[in-house]
Amino acid sequence: MAPRPPPPPLPNSNNSHLVGAIEAMIAAMQQQNTNMVNQHNLALQQMESARLAAEATQQRHLEALHQIGENRSTTGSSQAPPPQVQE
């Protein structure tokens, strides 16, 4: 035996109210989804900017260390060594 299909909905004045409420919920959820996607994209852009800034800072620090090394090698041992930092 094949299963019976569900009975057709009974005409009811509440049906139109329920349909309207469901449609309003769908619209609200779609708007919320759009807002969340926009927030996600903004967060990704901010993370990318932070990554680029960190890379630029790291590059400047490496260049500064390289320059310090060059300066030490050209001045020779006439200067006292820098103080040791204890952690």
Task: Read off the amino acid at residue 12.
Answer: N
Q: What is the pLDDT of residue 87?
A: 59
pLDDT(77) > 60: no
Residue 24, domain member (yes or no): no
DSSP H or E run through 77: none
Number of domains in the chain: 1
Each residue of 29-74: pLDDT tens digit? Answer: 999 999 999 999 999 999 999 999 999 999 999 999 999 998 888 8
Owning domain of residue 56: 31-69
- Integer-rounded Cα radius of gyration of the chain: 34
Q: What is the pLDDT of residue 41?
A: 98
pTM over 0.75: no
Residue 8, domain member (yes or no): no
Q: What is the pLDDT of residue 79?
A: 57
Q: What is the pLDDT of residue 64?
A: 94
Phi, psi of 9 (to 5 degrees): -65, 145
